Structure formats: C-alpha cells, structure tokens
Amino acid sequence: MVHFKSLFTGARRAALVVTLCASALALGQVQASAKVLATVNGADITDADLATARDDVGSTLPKQMNDAARDKALLDYLIDVKLVTQKAIADKLDATPDFQKKLAYFREKLLMESFLGVIAKSSVTEAAMKATYDEAAKAQKPEVEVHALHILVPTEEEAKTVEKRLKAGEDFGKLADQLSKDPGSKGGDLGFFTRDRMVPEFADAAFKLKAGEVSDPVKTQFGWHVIKVLEVRERGFPPMDQVKDQLEHFVAQKAQSEAIVKLREGAKITRADEPAPAEPAKPTVVPKK
C-alpha cells in the first residue's frame, strides 16, 4: 500500500461535508421540497433530517441491516431526539450557562467542519490528484521483492536433512507440507515480500538467491529455515486507479491544512500557555558631549 504523508496538522478532516446554499431563498426552496416522514407534537421530521442523521450516526448501525431497516432505526432515533429535546426545552435546560457554552462550542465546530468540507470538495480535482500522484511516483524508488518458499524446522540437523532430500529431487512444496513448522504458509509459500518484511537473517539469505536457487540452512529466532526463491522482481509504483481513495484523502487534507495555515498567518493569536514574544530592545541614545 502506498502512503501519502499527511500534511494536515491544524485540524481534523471534516466529518460531514455540508453544501452551503447560495442564498436564503435557495435554503427556503430546499426546506419547502422536503418530505415529512413523521411529526412529534406538531414538529416535523423530514427526509432531509433523515439524511443528516444517516451521515452522523448511520455508521454506528449494524452493517447487516438493509436500507429500509436502517432508515426505520434512524427515524426512531430522530423521533426520540425530538421528544427528549422538547422535554429539555420545557424544563428550560437550553437556558443554562453550561448549555449555552456547549451550544457555542458545537456551533463553531460545525462551522469549521462545513468550511473544511467546502475546501475538501473544491480541492479534489483530477488535475490535483494527477499532480500528487506524479510527484509521489517520481519520489518513490522501485523496491526489489522476491517470491520465496521456505521450510521451517526446529534444529540444524533437521534442516540439513531437508536440504539433502531436496537435492535428491523431492518436491519443495510437498516437503514443506510434511515437515515445516510454519502453519501459515501452504507448501511453504510466502508470496512476494520486500526485505524489510522479514527478520534480517532470513532476508539476507533470501535476497542473495537467484530464481530457482535453494539456500543453505538459515538460523533465525523462529528456528532453522531452508529457502527457495521462485522469482525476483522490482515492485513499481501502483497505477493511479489503485490508490485513488488515498489520493483523494491526501489532496483534501493538504488543502485543508494549507487553508488553516493561511488563516493562522493572517491572525493575531495569543496563548496563556506560551510567553508573549519579547519586545525588540530599543537602542540607547548616548548624548553628545
């Protein structure tokens, strides 16, 4: 898997992308066309409310639920929210100082997420992803990887016996199934791997071999190995379509980070946990005699 290093350090990526309406009239048109799904003491719950709840808490529902069951559960949730909210307002809980502080915090948080969502949506273009992909592909050097089989046994004596049987013509895969203590590799097949994925002793031995060659017994922390390399190749950079999701995520986060950095650069910020910058010393004027 290719990792595009994230530059997003100012804030997390927006959890909910909000499409901002161009005017109050447009907002009114959206609300007017909403379909009412339920009413709770006269307050409507619409399909737009359901869509918002789906984005917010839909991922917490069991994955095996079908769409109809998920929407029913979400509507039940929204009905409960309305009921509890109405009771809380009747009890004047919305007038408490603690509630007002939290309301102000979550308002700012949602505005931040909305702003970052717009930045993300506008930044993820084919041109931006192609430029990022080309830069990453150019920077990554091809890695050598090998496709190898191995037989793992507890002792050097057993490994030497395996070596003799292989030299006598026995099939490596069948012998691995009979003798190897590694249950995770059928026929001893480890697939393709790069040097960094194996312990040093094993990697050193495997990467010295050419295709078709078999190693001498090799000792590692797991026991004694006999290794056969089937193929050696260079692993190139994956095609762009294989890393599209990573590209979208990286490009969006990079744009969001840059937007926050720009806002910070244009702002006057003071922090109680950091000393204020020292005033530059004024030159001392010495009067002439």
Ramachandran bin of 106, using left for φ above 0, alpha for ψ from -120 to 50, beta for the remaining angles: alpha
Residues 62-87: tens digit of each pLDDT: 999 999 999 999 999 999 999 999 99
Q: Could you tell me the CATH number of the domain that includes residue 204?
A: 3.10.50.40
Distance CA 204, CA 171 (A): 24
Total domains in the chain come to 1
pLDDT of residue 274: 82
Tell me what pLDDT residue 286 has: 57
Region 247-265: what's the mean pLDDT?
Answer: 96
Determine the structural domain holding residue 199 and report its residue range.
143-235
Q: Give, in degrees to the nearest 5, the angle at Cα 113 between 83 and 64.
A: 60
8 has pLDDT over 70: no
Is 147 contained in some domain?
yes
Which residue type is seen at 269?
Answer: I
84: left (phi over 0), alpha (psi -120 to 50) or beta: alpha
CA distance 215 to 208: 9
Average pLDDT of 197-203?
A: 96
Inside any domain, residue 184: yes
User: What is the secondary structure of 85-140 as a DSSP string?
Assistant: HHHHHHTTGGGSHHHHHHHHHHHHHHHHHHHHHHHHHHH--HHHHHHHHHHHHHHS
| pLDDT over 80 (residue 17) | no
Residue 142: pLDDT band with limits 50, 70, 90: confident
Does residue 160 form part of some domain? yes
Confidence of residue 24 (pLDDT cuts 50, 70, 90): very low
Q: Does residue 185 fall inside a structural domain? A: yes
- Mean pLDDT confidence for 98-116: 96
In a domain, 198, yes or no: yes
- Quick check: is 74 in a domain? no
Whether the per-residue pLDDT at 176 is higher than 80: the answer is: yes
Whose CA is closest to 201, among 165, 225, 183?
Answer: 225
Q: Decide if 9 is inside a domain.
A: no
Q: Where are the beta strands (DSSP E) in 206-286?
A: 218-220, 223-235
Q: Is the dihedral of CA 63, 65, 67, 73 positive or negative?
A: negative
Average pLDDT over residues 256-274: 93
Under the banding of pLDDT at 50, 70 and 90, the label for residue 139 is confident
**Residue 167 maps to a domain:** yes
Task: Please report which confidence band the pLDDT of residue 157 belongs to, taking 50, 70 and 90 as the band edges.
Answer: very high
